[in-house]
Amino acid sequence: MDKNTFTGLFLIMIIMAASFYFMKPSDAELKKERLKAHADSVKAGKIAADTKNAVKFADAAKSIKNKIVDSAILKSPFGAATVGDDKLVTLQNNDIIVKLSNKGGKVYSVELKNFKTFDKKPLVLFEGNKNQFGLTFAAGANSIKTDQLYFTPSASQLTVAGNDSASFTMRLNYSATQYIDYIYTLKGTGYKLGLTIKPTGLEQVIAKPETIDLTWAASVRKQEKDMEQERKYSNVSYNNTEGANDNLSIGKDDQKLITDKKIQWISFKAHFFSSVLVTPKGFTKTDISESTDVTDTTDIKQMSASVQLPREANGTFPMLFYFGPNRFSTLQDQGFGLEKIVDLGWGPLAYINRFTVIPVFNFLKQFNWNYGLIIFVLTILLKLVLSPLTYKSYLSMAKMRVLKPEMDDIKAKVGEDNPTLLQQEYLKLYKKAGVNPLGGCLPMLIQLPIVFAFFRFFPSLFELRGESFLWMHDLSTYDSILTLPNIPFIGNHLSLMCVLMTISTLIYTYFNNQISGATGQMKYIGYITPVIFLGALNSFPSGLNYYYFLANMMTFSQQYIIRLMVDDKKIHAQIQENKKKPEEKKKTNGFQARMEEMMRQKQQLPKK
C-alpha cells in the first residue's frame, strides 16, 4: 500500500464516519419509521396486532356480561360456556407460579420464583389478556374459539413440592358426557408444565378430529436494564423434528409459514428467559410471527404462533410448556434440544462455544469462584493455548522489522512511482531472506474465530446475569459511570470497562507498532479500530469488555516476555545465512509464488 492509496482509503473512512455521524436519522425519525413499518405489517396481515386483540377480547367479555343471553345462544355448540365470571387458579412448585384463567382455560401468567428483574421486582414472563392460548375448530356450521369460552376448574389451587407430581383439569363442557379437558401436570421442581388436551365424546361434533388448530400468543415483558439490547436478543426460535434450528429476524417484524417440516418446539425467547411450547411428534403446520411496538416501555416484543396439532392414537393431544431461564445446562436437561435456544453464533463459532468454551467454563464453575475470577482464569487458559501462535506472529514481525532498513534502501533506489517493480523487489528480498510477509498475520487470523466466538458467548451467558465484580454490579449488562445526553454512536451513557478496554487496545497497538516497525501512515491505522470499538461495545455486557481488556493486557505481557527471549541480532544473522544459501534450496510458499507470477505478468504489460 503506497502513500497515495493509503491516503485515499483514510479519507474515504473519514467521509464514511462523518456521514454516519451527521446523516444518521434522529431518534424521533427512527421511531416514526418503526411505527410505520409496524403499522404496515399489521395492515398487510403479516403480524398480529396484540393491543388490538386485547381490546377485542375485553370488548367481547364486556358484551357477553352485559347482553341478555337468549335461548338461541344457549342451544348453540358450547353455548352455555359463553357466559361466566373470570377466575384465576394458582399452580405452583419450588420454581414457578402459574396462574390459569377459567376463561379459555389458558395460562394467564407465569412467575419465576428464584429470579428477579434487574430492578429487583418479581420476574413475570407474561401476564394478562395480552397472551392468548386456544383451540379453533368447526362444530357444525359454527366456528368455535375456546379462548372466548369459560372452563370449569377441578380445584381452586394446586401446590406441589419435593418429588411429587400432580395434575389439574380445566373442563370445557358441551354436555354431561361430552367435553374437552385441559389436563395440566406439574412436578414439585422444575420449569415444565405438562398439558394434554383430551376431547371426550365429540367425534360427531368436531369436524376433522384427527388434527386441531391451536393459537398461542404472548407479549414478552421487559426484564433487563437495557430494553434496546434485550430486544436484540429476543425473537421467536423453533426446532423441527429432524433437529434443525432456526429463528425469525431479531431486528425487524417478521413472519414465517412452515408446511414442509414438522416443528417440535416453538420458543418465545427473551434475552435470558423463554416460554417454549413442545410437542413430541411435531406440529404439522406452523405459522409464526413477531412484532415490536417501539412505543411500549413494558413489553419488548409481541410473539405469536398458529399451529396444527396431530392427534395421538389414544385420542389426546399431548404437549408441554417450558417456562424458565436460558441457561444452557438447564435447557439441555429438558431434552428435545432446547439448548439450541441459546445463540452461540453461526457455523464454527457455535462449535467452538459448545464443545470448548462451555465445558471449560462449567469446569471452572465447580470451584464456586466469583464470575469475574472465572473469566480471568478462562482468559489465561485461552492465552496459554494460543501462545505458540502468538510467538510465531511475534517472530515473523521481528523478521520484518530487521528487514526494514533493506526495504527502505530498495524503496530509495526504485522509487515510489513504480509500485509494481517495488513490490517485485520486496518479494525477491523476502525469498532470499527466507521470510514470509504474511507470517505475522496468519496466526492472528487463526485466532479470529475464537475472538468472535467469545463475542457471541458472553452476551448469551445466563450465569453472568446479576453477578457483580469490582465496581460492575451486573456482568451481563453495561457498567455506566456517566450519564450522557443521547450522543450518536455512543448512546446515553459511558461504560467504564469499555473505556478501559479501549485504552488497553490503544496501548497494545502502540507496542505492536514498535514490534512490527510500522512507520508513516501505517503507524496510525491501528488506532482507528479502538475508537470504533468504544462506540460499538459501549452498551455490551461489561463481562465481554472485561474479557477483551484482560486479553489485551495478557497479549501485551506475552509479547513483552517473548521480546526478552528473541534476539534481533540472531534473527539478522539467520537472515544473512539464508541469503547465502543456493537459490534452488530455498523454499517458496504458495503465496509468494503467486505474488511473483502476478508481478511478472504485470511487469510485462505494455505501458500506456
What does the pLDDT average to over 149-154?
A: 92
Highest mean pLDDT (candidates 67-71, 183-187, 416-420, 446-450): 183-187
Grid cell 394478562 in the structure block, residue: 128
Position with higher pLDDT, 95 vs 50: 95
pLDDT, residue 447, reads 73
* Alpha carbon distance 421, 428 (integer Å): 11
If DSSP codes are grouped into helix, strand and coil, which group holds residue 506?
A: helix
Average the pLDDT over 164-189 and give the result: 91
> What is the per-residue pLDDT across 481-508, written as a single tens digit (0 to 9) for each?
888 887 777 878 889 999 999 998 888 7
> pLDDT tens across 89-110, in order?
999 999 999 999 999 999 999 9
Query: What's the chain's average pLDDT?
Result: 81
Lowest mean pLDDT among 28-32, 323-327, 432-436, 544-548: 28-32
pLDDT at 302 over 70: yes
Residue range 523-576, pLDDT digits in tens: 666 677 778 888 888 889 999 999 999 988 888 888 788 877 777 677 777 777
Q: Are 93 and 189 in contact (CB under 8 A)?
A: yes
pLDDT digits (tens, 9 = 90+) for 330-362: 999 999 999 999 988 888 888 888 888 899 999
d(CA 226, CA 138): 45
Tell how many helices (H) and how many strands (E) occur in the chain. Answer: 17, 22
What average pLDDT does this structure show over 223-242?
Answer: 90
Look at residue 51 and tell me whether its pLDDT is greater than 70.
Answer: no
- Give 79: exposed, middle or buried? Use CB within 10 Å, 0-12, 13-18, 19+: middle
Instruction: Indicate whether 54 pLDDT > 50.
Output: no
Give the C-alpha separation, 561 to 394, whole Å.
Answer: 11
Mean pLDDT of the 22-29 span? 63
pTM, rounded to two decimals = 0.77
